[in-house]
Amino acid sequence: GVGAARAGNLTFMVGGVEQEFDAAKELLTCMGSNVVYCGAVGTGQAAKICNNMLLAISMIGTAEAMNLGIRF
């Protein structure tokens, strides 16, 4: 989010040629505290999608539990 970006605490999940990742890693560490090489092209996006899906499932579960609790 915006707060993490301002604080330089972003996480970058990167896919692509490993030598190109190594060349870009120094620049990415200026913007984020976690830089993870995920593998071939597209794997960084796949990891981000999985991370976002898990976050959404957690948020939905919390909202449903709160709703159920309120109704009881």
Calculate what percentage of the chain has a pLDDT beyond 90. Answer: 85
Residue 35 belongs to domain spanning: 1-71
Q: What is the pLDDT of residue 8?
A: 85
DSSP assignment string, 9-43: -EEEEEES-HHHHHHHHHHHHHHEEEEEEEESTTH
CA–CA separation, 42 and 56 (whole Å) = 21
Total domains in the fold of the chain:
1
Q: Contact, 28 vs 12, CB < 8 A? A: yes
Q: Which of 24, 26, 20 is nearest to 40 (CA)?
A: 20
pLDDT in tens, 45-66: 999 999 999 999 999 999 999 9
- Read off the pTM: 0.76
Q: Is 48 a catalytic site residue?
A: yes
pLDDT tens track for 7-50: 888 999 999 999 999 999 999 999 999 999 999 999 999 999 99
Catalytic residue among 25, 35, 48, 63, which? 48
